[in-house]
A = this chain, B = another copy of it.
Amino acid sequence: MKRTSLKDIAERVGVSTALVSYVLNNKKEGRISKSVAARIRETAEALNYRTNQIAKGLKTSKTMTIGLVLADISNPFSSAVARVIEDAANELQYTVLFGSADENPDRFRRLVDIFRDRQVDGLILLPPNGVGEDIRRLYAQRVPFVQFDRYYPASPGNVVALDNFAAARDATSLLLSKGRQRIGLIAFESQLYHLHQRKLGYQQAHLQLGLTPDPSLIAELGVHQLERTVPAAIDNLISKGVDGLFFVSNTLSAIALRHLNQLPIRVPDDLSVVSFDENELLDLFYAPLTYVSQPLEAMGQKALELLLACMENPQQISRIHFPATLVKRRSA
């Protein structure tokens, strides 16, 4: 069954499509006769008219669609992001196209292209490693976009992210304040700026107490085979006598908890633990984990806000950093 178009309504009522369009969009407010307007609205209702957004988009070059490129949808953090972005977008009558780059630069580029081919009005990006040049190009081409959670500081463009440095510093400080002396850091060898900031925060926490962080207590893992490398790193750090551990992501802590669960070592008595980001898992661990929490809803709304501003005026860009909250529970 073909959908009804403006033309169908126009024919039925005996007017031009222009008039129908004006009525249905509440344009030319004062000038249209009440009676015709009413008849148009009635038949639109009767024929169950809904505007064809594709046609409208072609004419107006506004598709009311935004593209969301997630880093890796299998990470629960991604679905949390998806949810807040979708909510914020719907609020503003936008629909979200989405895809997951799976931390792969080629997939990232492909998704961005696909979304642009579909004329999205803007993009929200969680870019993987190695796409700094692409971000720069997007900016040069005046494509409205916002980097979310992670970003390339050397490339221009809007950013909504956590203050990762402060968050990591505070998390580490908490461990230090509990009298922990040798704090292991489980991090990624990734070049991503936000992850780097977390390492720096960890170091800063030591420095500001006049301590020198021991580099041998920092494990930097590749993204692959974490199931194997995380437990190994933990064992190694424990053999070096750590009394605290800080995980820079929920992926790491999820695997870590499974391992710690089987170890004779006791949390928090023998070992204090702090993690980044939420995860149901953290609750179930025998010592509910202390973690760094991100104000995601606020961040999502802000991202949409910046995106809309940037659609209006591509020059105007900002970088917003939100403060994290340290949720203190039993593990530290």
The dominant DSSP class at the A interface is helix
Partner of A117, one of B52, B79, B99: B52
Task: Indicate whether A261 reaches chain B with its CB closer than 8 angstroms.
Answer: yes
Partner of A79, one of B50, B79, B258, B284: B79
A55 CB contacts on chain B under 8 angstroms = 58
A76 CB contacts on chain B under 8 angstroms = 76, 79
Give residues of chain A (131-181) contacting chain B, Cβ–Cβ below 8 Å: 141-142
Binding stretch for chain B, among A8-16, A89-97, A323-331: A89-97
A73-B86, A86-B98, A117-B52 known; A258+B281 contact, CB < 8 A? no
A95 CB contacts on chain B under 8 angstroms = 97, 99, 114-115, 118
Task: Indicate whether A212 reaches chain B with its CB closer than 8 angstroms.
Answer: no
Q: Report A36-77 CB contacts with B as 1/0, cut-off 8 Å.
A: 000000000000001111110110000101000000011010
Chain B nearest CB, measured from A72 CB (Å):
9
Chain B nearest CB, measured from A111 CB (Å):
9
Partner of A285, one of B57, B86, B141, B284: B284
For the complex, give the distance between the alpha carbons of A251 and B92 in Å: 30
Task: Indicate whether A22 reaches chain B with its CB closer than 8 angstroms.
Answer: no
Copies assembled: 2
Would you call B96 and A97 a contact (CB within 8 A)?
A: yes
Would you call B1 and A113 a contact (CB within 8 A)?
A: no
Task: Indicate whether A280 reaches chain B with its CB closer than 8 angstroms.
Answer: yes
A73-B79, A73-B83, A284-B285 known; A141+B100 contact, CB < 8 A? no
Would you call A98 and B100 a contact (CB within 8 A)?
A: no
For the complex, give the distance between the alpha carbons of A243 and B8 in Å: 66
**Closest residue of chain B to A254, judged by CB?**
B280
Task: Indicate whether A235 reaches chain B with its CB closer than 8 angstroms.
Answer: no
- Residue among A63, A74, A82 with max Cβ neighbours from chain B (10 Å): A82
Task: Indicate whether A197 reaches chain B with its CB closer than 8 angstroms.
Answer: no
Chain B nearest CB, measured from A51 CB (Å):
6
Would you call B117 and A100 a contact (CB within 8 A)?
A: no
Task: Indicate whether A119 reaches chain B with its CB closer than 8 angstroms.
Answer: yes
Query: Which 9 pairs from chain A and chain B are nearest by CB?
Result: A79-B79, A53-B117, A54-B119, A73-B83, A53-B118, A54-B57, A54-B58, A50-B117, A284-B284
16 further A-B contacts with Cβ under 8 Å, apart from A52-B117, A65-B97, A86-B98, are: A1-B141, A51-B117, A52-B119, A53-B118, A53-B119, A73-B86, A76-B79, A78-B79, A79-B79, A79-B82, A95-B97, A96-B97, A254-B280, A258-B284, A261-B284, A280-B280
- 28 A-B pairs within 8 Å (CB atoms) are namely A1-B142, A50-B113, A50-B117, A53-B118, A54-B58, A54-B63, A54-B118, A55-B58, A58-B58, A65-B118, A73-B79, A73-B86, A76-B79, A78-B79, A82-B82, A83-B100, A86-B100, A95-B99, A95-B115, A95-B118, A96-B97, A96-B98, A254-B280, A258-B284, A280-B280, A280-B281, A281-B281, A286-B286
